């Protein structure tokens, strides 16, 4: 009875009015719908990102693991005309680091790394202290050294392939070929002039890396590398060696400041040799000066002196003012033009036009020049390329100095006729002389090999004029000429000497530039050889004494190298040379 009453008075726990929800029915349904809508929105968003537009998530994932590694392209080779190597790329390695990971190295590991790479410990610590995610530790490391570094399994230290330029001919072709920097870009010479052609295009390869930079998987090449194009130069290594070695010996013998030499093929305009002294070794450029780097034959200008006289005479012949055997009164060895007096080094009486060249008479040349209008002389110099860039495509080419003819005074016209008051580079002078070798026409000079002779150039003089001037040039190296030491045994050759004071700060100093430009052989010209010696300091300083012998030795070797048949009896040529030494 008691139990039954308690049951009537009590309530079940789950039916307590306190625990019952006070929400109305429509509200509970709304909450349920909102939850379902939110869940559906999340589901659609996930579907959109993972199925329809998954680029974003893919990009984020790739950025953490995928890397594009550059595949270096080999720079094109530079060879001489016969394929002898002048510049070639050799495989090397670059050692690089992820500084944050590399800091985990122990002191002993750092010591080993610095010793292998020949780095000072402070220098290594400085590079690893960088906040960057990538730093070069050392570049252009030999492959065997790089493999030793890899074998240490140092944290954060990695290697990549690259190339280093090597120059087999060394200092012999340094000014011509030039060199590249550590990033394989041309900085001087042909390496700079043909940078775009030689460079090639680097490739790329995609890999998967972990957080420490270790490659887990090679995905594949995305862009294959394209090696650079090879460059075939016009120079002949044998002739280059002749030119370089004889120039070096002459500069040393005469204690000169420097010099330059060019050997030009008259049939094509090709540069068979171009050398300068002082020079440098492009394989070791730790201590270089401006004197060593200058390509004097292309970038330096000088007053050519008497080497310009044949052009003045050629113009007079062309204009009909004089003939080969016309007489010119050169007595008493001096002439007054305005307030200035022009003198010969040795007084002469009456000379033929040919003898004016043979004896190198300033007085005779001045009289011939003043018989013509200034404009005609200027136009001739302009046609010859003076005052213009030679357009070899070589870095640092200069124009020289050729003032407008309207500003010429009579004394200026006179001095320019024998090579003063005008400046040229050695390459300009050598190219200009080719008009006499090519019967009056001028062709562009070329650094690159040309496989076919150039049949026609720009006409400057008639063939008759060119041949007559060639005959005059031959007299210069014969008895009574100013350059008997330039004679070549077995060959008929001709040329012209030049001896000019150097112009320093607008004043002519007691310093000289000795030069000689010649043609060989005279009967069928094949070569023009131009030599310039800067500031010979011995007792001799005339072009015939200093530059003439270099011409003789280089020309003799070059003609034999090219297989050019002799056109004069050996004993006659040798006799002529012997007389010249007396």
The CA-CA-CA angle for residues 141, 108, 137, to 5°, reads 30
Strand pairing class (327-329; 441-442): unpaired
Would you call 306 a catalytic residue per the annotation?
yes
**Nearest residue to 96 (alpha-carbon basis) of 65, 62, 133:** 133
- The β-bridge partners of 93 are 141, 161
Residue 170, sorted as left (phi over 0), alpha (psi -120 to 50) or beta, turns out to be left
- Residue pair 409/239 in contact (Cβ under 8 Å)? The answer is no
- Residue pair 160/205 in contact (Cβ under 8 Å)? The answer is no
- Residue pair 494/477 in contact (Cβ under 8 Å)? The answer is yes
Question: Is omega for the bond preceding 114 within 30 degrees of 0, making it cis?
Answer: no
Angstrom distances, CA of residue 459 to CA of 266, 319, 456, 462: 14, 15, 8, 7
Burial class (CB in 10 A: 0-12, 13-18, 19+), 370: middle
- Report d(CA 496, CA 518) in Å as an integer: 6
The neighbour count for residue 40, using CB atoms within 10 Å, is 10
Helical segments of 399-452, H only: 410-417, 426-437
- Residue pair 362/308 in contact (Cβ under 8 Å)? The answer is no
- Residue pair 537/510 in contact (Cβ under 8 Å)? The answer is no
Structure tokens given for 84: 């002898």
Strand pairing class (350-352; 327-329): antiparallel
Among 72, 237, 250, 306, the one annotated catalytic = 306
Please enumerate in sequence order all residues whose Cβ is within 8 A of that of 468, keeping only pairs 6 or more positions apart, or say none: 317, 324
- Report d(CA 500, CA 496) in Å as an integer: 13
- Residue pair 445/264 in contact (Cβ under 8 Å)? The answer is yes
Residue with tokens 């550590």: 182
- Report d(CA 147, CA 144) in Å as an integer: 5
- The alpha carbons of the chain give a radius of gyration, in whole angstroms, of 40
Report which DSSP code applies to 164.
E
**Torsion from C-alpha of 323, 327, 330, 335, nearest 10 degrees:** -60
3-class secondary structure, 519: strand
- Residue pair 268/554 in contact (Cβ under 8 Å)? The answer is no
Structure tokens given for 467: 């041949």
- Report d(CA 387, CA 380) in Å as an integer: 11
Residues recognised as catalytic:
306
């Amino acid at each position: 009875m008691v139990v039954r009453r308690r049951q009537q008075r009590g309530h079940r726990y789950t039916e307590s009015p306190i625990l019952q929800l006070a929400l109305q029915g429509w509200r509970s349904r709304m909450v349920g719908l909102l939850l379902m809508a939110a869940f559906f929105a999340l589901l659609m968003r996930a579907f959109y990102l993972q199925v329809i537009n998954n680029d974003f998530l893919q990009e984020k994932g790739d950025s953490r693991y995928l890397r594009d590694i550059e595949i270096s392209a080999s720079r094109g080779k530079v060879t001489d005309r016969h394929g002898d190597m002048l510049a070639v790329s050799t495989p090397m390695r670059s050692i690089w680091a992820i500084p944050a990971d590399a800091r985990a190295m122990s002191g002993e590991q750092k010591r080993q790394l610095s010793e292998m790479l020949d780095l000072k410990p402070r220098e290594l610590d400085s590079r690893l202290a960088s906040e960057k995610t990538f730093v070069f530790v050392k570049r252009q490391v030999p492959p065997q050294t790089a493999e030793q570094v890899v074998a240490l399994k140092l944290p954060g230290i990695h290697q990549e392939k690259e190339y280093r330029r090597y120059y087999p001919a060394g200092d012999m072709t340094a000014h011509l070929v030039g060199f590249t920097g550590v990033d394989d870009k041309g900085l001087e010479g042909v390496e700079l002039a043909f940078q775009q052609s030689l460079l090639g295009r680097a490739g790329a390869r995609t890999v998967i890396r972990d957080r420490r930079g270790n490659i887990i998987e090679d995905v594949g090449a995305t862009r294959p590398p394209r090696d650079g194009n090879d460059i075939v130069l016009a120079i002949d290594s044998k002739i280059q060696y002749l030119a370089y070695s004889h120039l070096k010996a002459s500069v040393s013998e005469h204690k000169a400041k420097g010099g330059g030499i060019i050997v030009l093929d008259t049939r094509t305009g090709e540069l068979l040799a171009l050398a300068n002294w002082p020079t440098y070794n492009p394989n070791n450029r730790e201590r270089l000066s401006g004197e060593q780097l200058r390509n004097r034959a292309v970038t330096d200008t000088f007053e050519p002196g008497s080497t310009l006289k044949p052009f003045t005479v050629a113009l007079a012949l062309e204009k009909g003012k004089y003939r080969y055997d016309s007489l010119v009164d050169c007595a008493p060895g001096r002439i007054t033009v305005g307030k200035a007096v022009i003198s010969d080094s040795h007084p002469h009486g009456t000379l033929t036009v040919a003898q004016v060249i043979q004896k190198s008479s300033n007085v005779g040349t001045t009289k011939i020049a003043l018989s013509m209008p200034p404009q005609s002389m200027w136009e001739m110099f302009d046609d010859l390329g003076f005052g213009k860039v030679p357009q070899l495509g070589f870095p640092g080419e200069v124009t020289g100095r050729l003032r407008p003819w309207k500003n010429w005074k009579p004394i200026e016209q006179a001095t320019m006729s024998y090579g003063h008051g005008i400046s040229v580079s050695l390459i300009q002078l050598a190219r200009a002389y080719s008009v006499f070798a090519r019967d009056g026409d001028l062709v562009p000079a070329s650094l690159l090999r040309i496989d076919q002779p150039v049949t026609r150039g720009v006409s400057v003089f008639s063939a008759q004029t060119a041949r007559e001037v060639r005959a005059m040039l031959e007299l210069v190296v014969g008895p009574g000429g100013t350059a008997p030491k330039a004679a070549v045994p077995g060959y008929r050759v001709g040329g012209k000497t030049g001896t000019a004071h150097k112009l320093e700060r607008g004043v002519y100093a007691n310093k000289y530039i000795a030069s000689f430009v010649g043609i060989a052989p005279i009967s069928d010209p094949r070569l023009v050889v131009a030599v310039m010696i800067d500031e010979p300091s011995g007792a001799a300083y005339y072009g015939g004494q200093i530059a003439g012998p270099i011409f003789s030795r280089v020309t003799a070797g070059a003609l034999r190298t090219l297989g050019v048949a002799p056109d004069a009896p050996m004993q006659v040529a040798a006799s002529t040379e012997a007389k010249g030494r007396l």
